[in-house]
């Protein structure tokens, strides 16, 4: 029987090679990001940062701290590195800092990697649920879809599933319209943000 990995094992990996998460006592290496993955991740950040990463005004409601690829310690004994994470300023007045960040995010977004899809769609979904992360988005470049889920006691409830060509309001960022295709590099449609 293999021994369970610990947080010390994670931090023992040299920083330049540390692309790992500690989940259920196992060190899981994140997939190397493809061009599609990086582009989608940038699309999510580009869409949300302007209207939400501030106190409000100047074109958006504000109220969030947003970060990419930061290590986060969760109550479930896991250290994860979400592609994008967000903290409501109402519950986290100061910008989350440290390594790892110890404040639980209110929202996480994972860009599904073909080589590691089950990790995002099954394993991490369970870890985020156990830690009571309120909102979980899966953005999947394979079929150009956005899945928006909200925490409930029994498990995440899918609140929205949308594909390229649709314009949606996706919680917790329903204050703006999202042209789903823009997450995948499409030019915004006339009249949308």
Distance (Å) of CA 169 to CA 57, 63, 107, 181: 19, 17, 15, 13
When comparing pLDDT for 3 and 84, which is higher?
A: 84
In sequence order, what are the residues at sequence separation of 6 or more whose Cβ sits closer than 8 angstroms to the Cβ of residue 135?
106, 107, 108, 148, 149, 150, 151, 171, 172
The reported pLDDT for the residue numbered 57 is 54
- pLDDT at site 165: 95
Give the rounded distance of the alpha carbon of 9 from its chain centre. 24
pLDDT 10s digits, 71-125: 999 976 799 999 999 999 999 999 999 999 999 999 999 999 888 888 889 989 9
Q: Does this model's pTM top 0.75?
A: yes
The predicted pLDDT at position 62 comes to: 87
Q: What integer best gives the mean pLDDT of the chain?
A: 90
Placement of tokens 């190397």 in the chain:
32
Taking only the tens place, the pLDDT of each residue in 37-76 is 889 999 999 999 989 987 665 577 889 999 999 999 997 6
Give residue 193's pLDDT band: very low, low, confident or very high (50, 70, 90).
very low
Intra-chain end-to-end CA distance of the chain, in Å:
53
To which CATH superfamily is domain 34-184 assigned?
tt1808, chain A (3.90.1570.10)
Predicted confidence at residue 58, as pLDDT, reads 58
Find, among 120, 128, 115, 141, the residue nearest to 43 by Cα: 141
- Look up residue 178 and give its two tokens: 């999202």
């Amino acid at each position: 029987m293999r021994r369970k990995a610990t947080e010390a094992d994670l931090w023992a990996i040299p920083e330049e090679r540390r692309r790992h998460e500690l989940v259920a006592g196992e060190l899981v290496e994140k997939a190397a990001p493809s061009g599609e993955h990086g582009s989608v991740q940038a699309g999510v950040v580009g869409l949300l940062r302007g209207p939400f990463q501030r106190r409000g005004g100047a074109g958006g409601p504000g109220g969030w701290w947003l970060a990419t690829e930061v290590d986060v310690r969760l109550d479930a004994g896991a250290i994860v590195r979400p592609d994008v994470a967000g903290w409501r300023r109402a519950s986290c007045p100061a910008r989350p800092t440290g390594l790892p960040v110890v404040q639980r995010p209110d929202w996480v977004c994972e860009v599904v990697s073909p080589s590691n899809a089950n990790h995002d769609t099954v394993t991490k979904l369970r870890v985020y649920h156990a830690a009571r992360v309120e909102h979980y988005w899966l953005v999947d470049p394979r079929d150009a879809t956005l899945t928006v889920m909200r925490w409930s006691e029994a498990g995440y409830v899918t609140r929205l599933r949308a594909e390229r060509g649709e314009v949606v309001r996706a919680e917790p960022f329903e204050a703006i319209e999202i042209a789903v295709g823009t997450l995948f590099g499409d030019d915004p449609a006339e009249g949308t943000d």
